[in-house]
Amino acid sequence: MEENKIVELSSKERPLLLDCGKSLGPVKIAYTTYGNLNEQKSNAILICHALTGDQYVASQHPITKKEGWWSNVVGPNKSIDTNKFFVICPNIIGGCMGSTGPKEINPLTQKEFGLDFPVITISDMVKAQKLLIDYLSIEKLFCVTGGSMGGMLVLEWLSKFPEFVHSAIPIATSVNHSAQNIALNELARQSIMADPNWQSGNYYETDNQPTKGLSVARMAAHISYLSKESLHQKFGRNLQDKNELDYSFKADFQIESYLRHQGISFVDRFDANSYLYITRAMDYFDITANSNGSLIEAFKNTKSKVLCISFTSDWLYPTSENKKIVKTLNALGIDVSFLEIETENGHDSFLLDEPEFFDALNGFISSTWREL
């Protein structure tokens, strides 16, 4: 069974307290569920989406009409089997698919928040997710999983709410952002803010959206999700629908045409201000921030069984970053497994057709479920 809902989880009187010192209330969370919660409420799996993902993990997207971003993983008899498990995927706060974010209405002004929306963190996102889990009367999640930014959310769950997580699968992620990743996100943010139509974030009531800036931001980010090898295999220096160069600034090469398409198609489903806020949250993320810079301290209360997965060609969140997590959990005596999958598909590998990845998810989830 599949359900799409939006629920209000905090109020003006009891707001969500944010890391920036401000509060947010009421807070709405849009989420999708698949399968059925068992009588013991022990079969819930929380899926945390990445930067440009949303709650439509295995559903047709209402705007693009494309299949869900993890439809190859979530569903009946798939790696995350909805015949067995109750799958929950919420849109993060700060997002743009129904959860409270900059494009939603500010109750104080009755207009869109825009840049009046408070700066949020990965921790704030997880605190909001915890409100949803409490609302669903689930006392302990069987598993929390996600890739990229979703993996950061998984790590935050392990650190902040360890007693609520039986098992976890962080995928292609990191305990904090490198200078390179912060630089890439700043490039994206500056491209949005340089668009005249951005209007300091106050574009919602106008006919002109900052689509050019957001499109360039998406193009820059998409390059980081791929690898040199995958780009070469897919495109090389092949020309786009022509046999010779135009000697112009049109899209001569297939890779140029591909990136432009990625940028143009993205602006139909994503909000520019949300992109600013979410990338900022990723840059601010540091799992050791409240533990004196110590990874051991950050995960000292973790009791979950963990599988950490990385990909050989992922230069955005390389294997070395994922191994930091594994070594720390090992040092704490946590039941942790590690798998590095050899692939040329880059960071996006966790979204693509990677049979070894599917088998690893299925094997870990099935064996952990049998142990309950």
Active site residues per annotation: 148, 314, 347
How far, in Å, are 43, 46, 73, 141, 256 from residue 356 at the CA level?
A: 24, 22, 12, 25, 31
Cis ω on the peptide bond leading into residue 26 (within 30° of 0)?
A: yes
Question: What ranges in the chain are assigned the alpha helix state H?
Answer: 122-135, 149-160, 179-193, 211-225, 228-234, 254-266, 272-284, 295-298, 319-331, 355-371
Q: How far lies 186's CA from each of 52, 176, 283, in Å?
A: 16, 16, 9
Owner of token pair 């820059």: 220
Could you give the CA distance from residue 282 to residue 330 in angstroms, rounded to a whole number? 25
Work out the number of other CB atoms within 10 angstroms of the CB of residue 359: 13
CA dihedral 110, 114, 117, 121 (to 10 degrees): 150
The end-to-end CA distance of the chain, in Å, is 24
DSSP annotation string for 186-222: HHHHHHHHTSGGGGGG--TTSS---HHHHHHHHHHHH
Q: At CA 98, angle to CA 93 and CA 104, rounded to 5? A: 80
* Cα-to-chain-centroid distance, residue 140: 22
Burial class (CB in 10 A: 0-12, 13-18, 19+), 109: exposed
Q: What are the C-alpha distances in Å from 136 to residues 3, 33, 290?
A: 13, 11, 29
Q: Which residues pair with 146 in a beta bridge?
A: 48, 170
